[in-house]
Structure 1
Amino acid sequence: MPPRKKAETPAPSSPERGGGNKAQTINDIARLAQVSKKTVSRVINQSPLVHKETRDRVEAVMREVNYTPDPFARSLAFRRSFLIGMVYDNPTAQYIVNMQNGALDGIRDSGFELVVHPCDSRNPAYIDGVRRFVQQQKLFGVMLVPRVSEDQALADMLAEIDCRYARIASVSLDHASRMLITHDRDGAAEAADYLHALGHREIALITGPASYRSAHERTAGFIEALQRHGLELPRHRVIEAGYTFESGVAAAERLLAGKDRPSAIFAGNDEMAAGVYKVALRSGISIPQQLSVIGFDDSPLASRLWPAMSSVRLPIRDMGRIAASMLLQNEPTAAAALATASVRPHLIIRDSCQPPG
C-alpha cells in the first residue's frame, strides 16, 4: 500500500493582518490603519476631507490585504454628495453675487461644488422646499444667508435631518461653531458719528424691511449713536423701505418733498441710497452740496455713482468664504475656532458727504 501523502501545512498567517483566506472587512481596515471606520469610508469614496497622509496609510493597508470594497456597501456608505448649498432670500443681486464668489473661494481645490437655492421666506412652505433641496441633492452642508439665516425654524429643520449648516447674521443666533457674526450695528453707528462730526443735525434714515434682523441692527446702531450725541431722529424722518432701488426712490421722494428736508440721509444699503441719488438729481438737489448721502455694504455700485458714495463696507465676499470654510472643517474644535472669528464693517469715505451748507 503506497504511503499516504503528507498533508501540506498552511503558511502561518499574521495575527495583525488576519488569517489566510478570511475576507477583510472595513472594520479590519480601520483597525489595521488605526483610523475610524468613517475615515476608511471617506477614503473609499474619495472624500476630499481626508488628509493625504491618512489617505496614503489607509490605501496602503487595503493594497496589502487585497481589500476590495463591496459596491453595494460603498453606495450605502456614500450618503452625502460633495455639494455645498447656499440658501438665500435677498433682493440685492450684487450682495448675492459677492456672497457666491466668496463661497467659491472657500471651497476652491476642495473637491466640493456650490449649488444655490433662492427662496421666498414669506411663503409658509419655503422650509419644506429647503428640506427637499437638501435631501434631493444629498448636500454635505448649507450656508444660510440673511435673511433666511435669521429663521430659527429653518435651522431647527436642518438640525433635525442632520445637515450641517453655517449661519451669517448681524448677531449671534446659534452655537459658535455655526455662526458668522457681522456686527452691522457698529457700522451704522460709525456712519452716524461721521455725519455728526461734519455738523449735520437734520438727518434722515431709510431702513431695510422690518422682517430683516440686519435692518433692526443697522437702525438701532444709527439711532443710538445719534442719541449719544444728543440728537433724536423724528419719526417722520425714519422711513422703512425694502432694500431695493425702487423702495429707496419711494422713500427719498417722501423725505425730499417740500422745504423741510434733511441735510443728510443714511440708507440701510447701497441700492436704497442709489434711489436717493435719483430723486435728488430729478429734484435739482446737488450731492453733496445740498444733501449728504451714506449707504451700507460698499457694493461696486457705491464707487460707480457720481459723486462716489460713502458707504459702510461689509466684507460680503469674505463672509461667503468664511461660511463655506466653516462647513468643510472636519474636526468640531477646528470648526468652533474658525467660527469665533467675525467680520467688522467700517465706513469708506468718498465724495457724497460734506458739512451742511
Structure 2
Amino acid sequence: MNDRGARGASPTINDVARLAGVSKKTVSRVINRSPLLNDATRERIEAVIAELGYVPNRQARSLALRRNFVLGLIYDNPNAQMVLNFQQGVLDTIKDTEFALVIHPVDRRSPTLFEDIRRFVEQQRHYGVMILPPLSEDDQFADLFRELGCNYVRMGSAELDEPAHLVQSNDRQAVREAIDYLVAQGHRRIGLIAGPSGFRSAHERRQGWIDSLVAHGLPHDETMVAEGNYTFETGQSAGEALLGRGEPFTAIFASNDVMAAGAIHAAHHRGLDVPKDISIVGFDDTVIAATIWPPLTTVRWPIRTMAQSAARKLIHPETAGKEQALFPAELILRASTEPPETER
C-alpha cells in the first residue's frame, strides 16, 4: 500500500485483492453485492476499499472482459406503468454497483425487429439483457441472445424458460382466485375486459376467468367478453360495450388496472354506482388502483420484486439458478367490490 502511495497512482482492483488476501473475482463480487460472500470476507474487503479510496475503473474492466457493465431492457408494451415499475426494480438492484441500465423500446410490428435487437445487443456488448412481454414470449429472441453469447432473463406469465433465465407470475391462478372471490360474494354474471390477443398475459388472465366460471357452473360465452389494449381508452370503450349488452353484469374483471379505471368511468357515464350497481376488479396494483375512486380491488402483480430478481440473475449468473423464478400474485381488496343487490 505504501509502494502504491509513493508512486502516486490510483489504487487498482489488484491492490485491493492483494491487501485483502483474496482474488480479483472476490473483490468484484463485493463491488456488485454478490450473495456468495460471508460477512467477514465482505467487511474485510470493504475496509480495504475504504482505506485505499478505490473506485472501480469500469472502462478498463469492460475492456478486459470484452463486455460493458450495462444491463439492457428491451420492451414493446402499451402498459407504461408496468414498464416503469420494472425499471425501478432494476435500479433498486444496481444502486451502488458499477452497473448501469440502458432502455431499448422497440416496435414489435416492425419488419426489422429481429435485426434491430441483434444490432442493439452487438453494439452495446451488454453484461446481460432483460426482455418484457410480449417479446419475451417469443423463443427466437432467447435463441438470438444465446447465439450472441449474451446472458438474458425473460419476464412472463407462464413458464417460458429455465429458472436462471426467467421471472414468472401465476396470472391464471391469481385471476381464478379473484373470480372465485366475486362468486363467493354472490356475483353470477361476471364480464371480462380482456387484454390484447397477442399477449400471453392476456391469454393466461382470460383462462383464469374461464376456469373459475366453469368450476362454478356459471356462463362464460363470448358475449361476456370485450377486448382492450391495456390502455384507459380501450378499457372505457370495452366497459361501454359490456354494459350495453343484454342481461346486465353485476361484476367486471379487467385484465389490468388502467382498463379497470376506464371501465369505472364507463359505469359512471351510464349513471351506475361502483360498487353498488356493479363491482369492478383490476390486475397489477399500480398507483392508479389506490388513487382512483372508488379504490380498486385488484390482483397485485409483484413487478418490482420480479425486476430486482431479474437484475440479480444477470449480475450474479453463478447463483441465477437458485434465485426465485415464480412470483405469486395476490388479491388486494378495496372499495370497488361488494355483494350484488340480491345478496345484500
Runs of 4+ that moved beyond 2 A = 46-54, 73-78, 258-261
1:226 and 2:235 equivalent?
no
In the comparison of the two structures, how many residue pairs are matched? Answer: 305
CA drift at 1:232: 2.4
1:335 and 2:292 equivalent?
no
Counterpart pick for 2:233 among 240, 246, 268: 246
Match of 1:353?
337
CA drift at 1:273: 0.6
Tell me the amino acid that sits aligned with residue 84 of structure 1: L
Counterpart pick for 2:79 among 92, 100, 107: 92
Cα 1:144–1:74 shift into 2, 3 Å: closer
Counterpart pick for 1:289 among 276, 294, 297: 276
Match of 1:105?
92
Match of 1:205?
192
More helix by share: 2
CA drift at 1:114: 0.7
Q: Identical aligned pairs, as a percentage? A: 43
CA drift at 1:262: 0.9
Secondary structure of 1:274 counterpart: helix
Q: Distance in 2 between matches of 1:191 and 1:74?
A: 49
Match of 1:10?
none
Q: Distance in 1 between matches of 2:82 and 2:201?
A: 13
Tell me the amino acid that sits aligned with residue 146 of structure 2: A
Cα 1:157–1:280 shift into 2, 3 Å: same
Counterpart pick for 1:148 among 114, 129, 135: 135
Residues 247 and 275, structure 1, Cα contact 8 Å, conserved in 2: yes
Counterpart pick for 2:123 among 108, 130, 136: 136
Structure 1, gaps ≥5 residues long:
1-25, 61-72
Cα 1:199–1:328 shift into 2, 3 Å: same
Counterpart pick for 1:180 among 162, 167, 170: 167
- Name the stretch that deviates more: 263-272 or 127-136: 127-136
Cα 1:192–1:306 shift into 2, 3 Å: same
Structure 2, gaps ≥5 residues long:
1-13, 49-59
Residues 175 and 208, structure 2, Cα contact 8 Å, conserved in 1: yes
Residues 199 and 356, structure 1, Cα contact 8 Å, conserved in 2: yes
TM-score by length of 1: 0.79
CA distances 1:271-313 after superposition (whole Å, capped 9, x unpaired): 1111101111111011011110000001110111111110000
Residues 207 and 268, structure 1, Cα contact 8 Å, conserved in 2: yes
Secondary structure of 1:87 counterpart: strand
TM-score by length of 2: 0.82
Residues 49 and 330, structure 1, Cα contact 8 Å, conserved in 2: no
Tell me the amino acid that sits aligned with residue 310 of structure 1: T
Residues 49 and 328, structure 1, Cα contact 8 Å, conserved in 2: no
Secondary structure of 1:173 counterpart: coil
Tell me the amino acid that sits aligned with residue 302 of structure 2: P
Q: Distance in 2 between matches of 1:306 and 1:74?
A: 52
Cα 1:164–1:75 shift into 2, 3 Å: closer
- Bigger CA radius of gyration: 1
Match of 2:222?
235
